[in-house]
Structure 1
Amino acid sequence: MSRPYNFSAGPAMLPEAVLEQAKAEMLDWHGSGMSVMEMSHRGKEYISIAEQAEADLRELLAIPANYKVLFLQGGASSQFAMVPMNLLRGKTRADYLNTGQWSKKAISEAKKYCQVNVVASSESANFSTVPARDTWKCDPEAAYLHYTPNETIGGVELHTIPDVSVPLAADFSSTLLSRPLDVSKFGVIYAGAQKNIGPAGLTIVIIREDLMGQTVAGTPTMLDYATMAKESSMYNTPPTYAWYIAGLVFQWLKAQGGLKAMGERNKAKADLLYKAIDESGFYKNPVDPAYRSWMNVPFILPDEALDKPFLAEAKAAGLLTLAGHRSVGGMRASIYNAVPLEGVKALVDFMADFQKRRG
């Protein structure tokens, strides 16, 4: 591989083959005489791009016919408001599981629209685990339950889908398309694109049809899922280039063998990195092993004074963006779909060498 390995949590590394294809098509997409960035979103050329992207995403995730797929703007953070606006459907209460910083942000936003019941929280454990399911205190009057399957900052992941009697709403920003997923278990799935899907600026929403069309009073037209579904995500000008790149990523995923193959690769990458951390006696991962993320692997060195040298030497070795989130410090390796096993091996080798020299 000619490029460095980028372990950024997002915007994240994209497949080199996708970047090369985008480069080749930059000035003239398929003989149209236009760059995708120059096309009308209502022209036949762009409509074909959009329709193919949705078809490929539906195939990858085996999305049932009674779910709409939306390609929106505003990032996953806009969904913190859109979920209660659209899913309360006349109710005034909603359940939320608190497992990290992104859960907290979703809870804070939802409180503007409804009474939030936090069914359980791992904040007292510094978000290093997920509360056991039998400790959750769900509200029988809740309109839905929201959770964050993978907390990008803390590296905590819930590996099973909660079994609840209300619609599930989930922020899959950092795990969507990293492995197979049973979409039928959810009311709404949303994800910012800049992890496993494409560039920043695009947000994917997958929503069950019967949950649309009953927004809270005063919901802006742009924030109504039903409006966007009716207009095929083109009520206004969508993020056309990000949508196009996402479509190329979907095609790349299919060529890699689909989500089953990607899941096997991602687990292998995570297992390799956690094994290196656990057996080092030098690096430490703060997360309960039962809830370790496949996508975001935080680790700390025995002395903070080593952080800057580690990052500088890693960068010189072609291993980029390994600093942990500013709120927690330490290191974090985000090993999304586009990071190959060779990249994780290179990181593990560097970590061993750094320990030998500095430990």
Structure 2
Amino acid sequence: MTERIFNFSAGPATLPLAVLEEAQQEFLNYKGSGMSVIEMSHRSKEYEAINAGTESLIKELLGLDDDYRVLFLQGGASTQFAMIPMNFLGQDQKADYILTGSWAEKAQKEAAKLGQTHIAATTKEGNYVRIPQPEEIHRSENSAYIHITSNNTIFGTQWHSFPEFGNIPLIADMSSDILSKPFDASKFALIYAGAQKNLGPSGVTVVIIRQDMIEQGNKNIPTMLRYETHSKNNSLYNTPPSFSVYMVGLVAKWIKNQGGLAAIAKHNEEKAALIYDAIDNSGGFYTGHAEKDSRSLMNITFRLPNEELEKEFNSEATRRGLNGLKGHRSVGGMRASIYNAMPREGCQALADFMREFQNQKG
């Protein structure tokens, strides 16, 4: 284990070491079954228990009752960009999108291929340095739903309180901050998340959906693209990404064992503060991309005085086992992704390196 690095990649991302070790121990022979989860039938009693247990754990962590289902689908969040309007956008309606980054843009553009959309708010003009204020959000008159992206991995911004729109269904892409803090999940009609950032490995998309949304979904679209299909079959209509679902279950159990979402949020706030303090106390050597009241606790984006120093910073950090820090081309600079599984020690090591690098090059 001394060979492991601190992985700051935006995704697929680091997983809790305890989860990896548990999966390793069970990999060849899951609970005396004589086979690995990766080998067993998705119709077996063992796998059905994994599937049901994972759904139950996620609902428990979010405080949700039987008004909601948790579905385990494939195709990533990108497939949800199309699946949502296919199911819920009526011919005479508009879908409202609040644009806070690249993934929100992609969701809106995909929906626009399938029906009418309306941009209810956007902060694109400032290169997405902040989340819109409530007074900047303007709904359409006949809104089918309102879509937000809760955390923006590329730009390092995050919704710290969620807007409310009465009876209009609120839908959120929470791929990069799901289960990272307590929030009232019952405000949402549908939440979706690619697992590979904060829930588990790649290959499974978690969809948390209210029962009434399932019932009102469009019946005249392909079977595999209907939420009703997957709900009726407990996510087992076709062969699911079974090992990824199993891993999501282990991560959910790990979060519960840490003390649940309140404990995880405290952990995440303390981790992020270490790096943001290094930025804010650098005298301008490091410059954060996001405005302070919109800063993400999951993805910290920052620049150095010039690109040559940024290349040198990234190269030296990688040499020291601080990996995956290069920022997205839309922002440049550095990006430290510190999802739930990133230990405090990783953030401390990065903050210490940042100060050392500044002392040498500033």
TM-score category of the 2 structures, normalised to the smaller one: over 0.9
2:338 pairs with 335, 338, 348, which one?
335
Q: Which of 348, 354, 357 is the aligned partner of 1:345?
A: 348
Structure 2: gaps spanning 5 or more residues: none
Give the one of 183, 193, 211 matched to 2:195. 193
Deviation for aligned residue 1:49:
1.2
Partner Cα distance (1:131, 1:43) in 2: 48
Superposed CA offset, 1:213-264 (max 9, x none): 4444752211100110000001100000000011111111111111110001
Is residue 218–residue 226 contact of structure 2 (8 Å, CA) maintained in 1? no
Q: Compute the displacement of 1:88 (Å).
A: 2.3
Tell me the secondary structure at the aligned position of residue 53 of structure 2: helix
**Aligned equivalent of 2:324:** 321
Q: What aligned pairs does 1:37-76 form with structure 2 within 5 A after superposition?
A: 37-76=38-77
Counterpart in the other structure of 2:247: 245
Q: Which of 258, 277, 280 is residue 278 of structure 1 equivalent to?
A: 280
1:348 positional shift: 0.2
Seen in structure 2, the aligned counterparts of structure 1 residues 60 and 88 have a Cα distance that, compared at 3 Å, is same
2:78 maps to what in 1?
Answer: 77
CA distance in 2, matches of 1:55, 1:256: 17
Q: Secondary structure at the match of 1:201?
A: coil
Structure 1 residue 140, shift from structure 2 partner? 2.1
SS of aligned partner of 1:94: strand
Gaps (5+ residues) in structure 1? none
8 A contact 1:86–1:213 mirrored in 2: no
How far 1:79 sits from its partner (Å)?
0.6
1:294-330 superposed Cα distances (whole Å, 9 cap, x missing partner) = 1000010101001222112111211110001133221
Q: Is the 8 A contact 1:88 1:215 kept in 2?
A: no
Residue 307, structure 1, aligned to residue 305, structure 2? no
Amino acid at match of 2:295: R
Aligned match of 2:225: 223
For residue 268 of structure 1, what is the aligned residue in structure 2? 270
What are the residue-to-residue correspondences of 1:143-158 with 2, within 5 Å? 143-158=144-159
The number of residues matched between the two structures is 359
How big is each residue's C-alpha offset from its partner over 1:101-149, in whole Å with a ceiling of 9 and x where there is no partner?
0110001001012211101111111111122211222112111100111
Task: For residue 64 of structure 1, report the CA deviation from its aligned partner.
Answer: 2.4
Q: Supply the distance in 2 between the matched residues of 1:131 and 1:47 (Cα, whole angstroms).
A: 42
Structure 1 stretch displaced more, 169-178 or 131-140: 131-140
TM-score normalised per structure 1: 0.97
Report the 3-state secondary structure (helix = DSSP H, G, I; strand = E; otherwise coil) of the residue aligned with 2:30: coil
Over the matched positions of the two proteins, sequence identity in percent amounts to 53
Q: How does 1:31-42 map to 2 (within 5 A)?
A: 31-42=32-43
Quote the offset at 1:181 in angstroms: 2.1
- The partner residue of 2:175 within 166, 173, 176 is 173
Contact 1:89 1:215 in 2 (8 A): no
CA contact (8 A) 1:91 1:143 kept: no
Secondary structure, counterpart of 1:276 in structure 2:
helix
